[in-house]
Amino acid sequence: MARQRKIIHIDMDAFYASVEQRDFPEYRGKPLVVGGSPEGRGGVVATASYEARKFGIRSAMPSKTALRLCPEVLFVRPRFDAYKAASRHIREIFRRYTDVIEPLSLDEAYLDVTEDKQGIGSAIDIAKRIKQAISEELQLTASAGISVNKFVAKIASDLQKPDGLTFIGPSKVEAFMEKLPVEQFFGVGKVTAAKMNALGFHTGADLKKLSEEAMIHHFGKPGRFYYQIVRGIDHREVQSHRETKSVSVEDTYQQDIAVVEEMLVALDRLTAKLASRLQSTQLKGRTVTVKFKFHDFALMTRSHTVPVLIADKGDIFQVVEQLVAKADLHDRKVRLLGVGISNFETSETERHEKASDVQLKLFDVPPSDAMPPSMRGYGP
């Protein structure tokens, strides 16, 4: 028989907000949002402190909604250098126990500790030591989920937040999945969950009654995965080196841009940011993409592939200019612009060395109205 895997999912608790509360005592114990300003347009909550979550404030919520839910909430602009420094320290702690680490973002990762460096043997003990080290060395808390596969470990890490530790052993996995509400299935969004409920499927046990063919009929290709996971089957390995598919930057503007020349100025700045990121990761690509979101929220992208690998700002912007010239932008007002590059061709070694450095969250390029430049935080 194949050896049972030991998977830990570590998820930092309200990571960005916790770093802010650690570094600035005046924020401790108060409802705090890290993200965009509610006074601009396009401001979004990146992370809410647990004090803010009591009012119903959640990540990805419009900042204006957060302010309406809690008029006393404090808003602060993201400090990504601080979050990245903490994330690097956390990964150093992980590497004391295993090199099989799959970062999902700055604040969460899978660890395969089937064979750990220190010969501890117990995944529970390793998770406890990791949590203790994070607490003592960074003054932050993390929650851990432990199981035999990635799917169950990730769900488990969310069950006892904050500062939680949940173990779901091999003999308990299938029963756990049967009791789990479909809304808590990782990868099942609101639309799919609503469809499941409408069909009379509210728990894993309900889904388990379907054949694989029926699951695919109702939910398409993901149905095959649901059929497996509701039975506790997940063969996905922890991927210690995840290949980067694309790198992009974008910005939302307080006022619509209606003049093509002004769009090019904004895209020039974004291209400079993109080139800087490519330089730091030593990545080069061949496909350049420009993204436009118009005042009516309609979205348009235009892409072009060049015959050679590029990463220089000038080379990328030359393609950007060509794409803008070919796009139908007459009398169209733009509220968001983005530039990205993909179709990378790097050596396996380069990918292994650089992939973890580009696992950035959506909010790693905050909107231009994220915060008045002269203020770190504001509010009552």
Annotated catalytic residue within 20, 108, 174, 348: 108
Q: From CA 34, how far away is CA 59, in angstroms rounded?
A: 9
Question: Residue 262: which of 328, 324, 326 has the closest Cα?
Answer: 324
What φ, ψ does residue 268 adopt, rounded to 5°? -60, -45
Q: DSSP string spanning 18-73?
A: HHHHHH-GGGTTS-EEEE--TTSSS-BEEEE-HHHHTTT--TT-BHHHHHHH-TT-
Q: Is 350 a catalytic residue?
A: no
| Biggest CA-to-CA distance, the chain | 66
Residues with Cβ within 8 Å of residue 209, at least 6 apart in sequence: none
Question: Residue 340: which of 291, 268, 307, 293 has the closest Cα?
Answer: 291
CB 35 within 8 A of CB 362: no
Q: From CA 49, how far away is CA 31, in angstroms rounded?
A: 6
Is the bond into 162 cis (omega within 30 degrees of 0)? Answer: yes
Which residues are catalytically annotated? 108
